[in-house]
Structure 1
Amino acid sequence: MNRKTLAALILATALPAMVMAGGHGGPDSHSGPESHAGRPGHGGIPILEDLDLSKEQSRDIRKLVGEEMKSRHEITKRYLDKLPEAEKAAMKKEMDESRDKTRASIRNLLTPEQQKEFDEKQKKIEAKRQEYAEFLKWKAERDQKH
């Protein structure tokens, strides 16, 4: 699989999340399913702005987008599973470096107090990630025995 195809797969996986994030943080952005006027909003999906969705519509649309995200993740995983181990390792390394760079940039925007809290949260996230990796390793070993 060439790099362009791999990049397309990664983008396809991230796209639904970017659509859900949608807002720009400006005065007209929405932080939840309710608009600033107290009316049901669009759940932060830009294409749905100005449609005056009901709470039920917003809920159902968020559910559909979540299902699409899951589907895209499963499709991407199917193709990534076909990559040679060296390509998977290179991709993981590049993604980790990108994540670390973004986290460092975010941290630099924070006050010292915020940085301390950010660092503590990062440690908790990393501990959970390590715990999950150990669980997956255990599960794979268990499945091999059966």
Structure 2
Amino acid sequence: MPSGDAAYRFRIAVEPAALLEPGHALPAGFAAEMRLGHRDFLETRWHDSRAVAFFELNAAFHHGIVAASGNRFFLAATEQHNRLRRLLNYGWVLGADRVRQNATEHLAILDALESGDHAAASRLLRDHLRAAQALTGELARLRGAA
């Protein structure tokens, strides 16, 4: 089993649940800031030298939508996990297609949250994390075969 598999199972259990917390509300300006950052990655040519910037935008997105739950336990778990991810993922080699897919999925989650459909946002987030989990597992298998 890939080492990242347990981490994704944890995230799949925690992050979508945070979007279903009573009173979940994005802070003013968060969605606009995230849209701007994600559109930048959609509209400019990807190169691996931008991996750290993409990771930080990705981490900020996940942190922000969980923080909006108002549940300090979800937030503390996400903050700790982001610290661990930062240690392991700064060397991401994702490729343009995965970056576009990730940004597009994040924007769809924002759309659902802004429309007030937290159940749809939670499902989209779960699907997003499962897709990332599958890709991570496939990359680990390919590295193991090389």
TM score, norm. by length of structure 1: 0.31
Structure number with the bigger relative contact order (C-alpha 8 A, sep ≥ 6) is 2
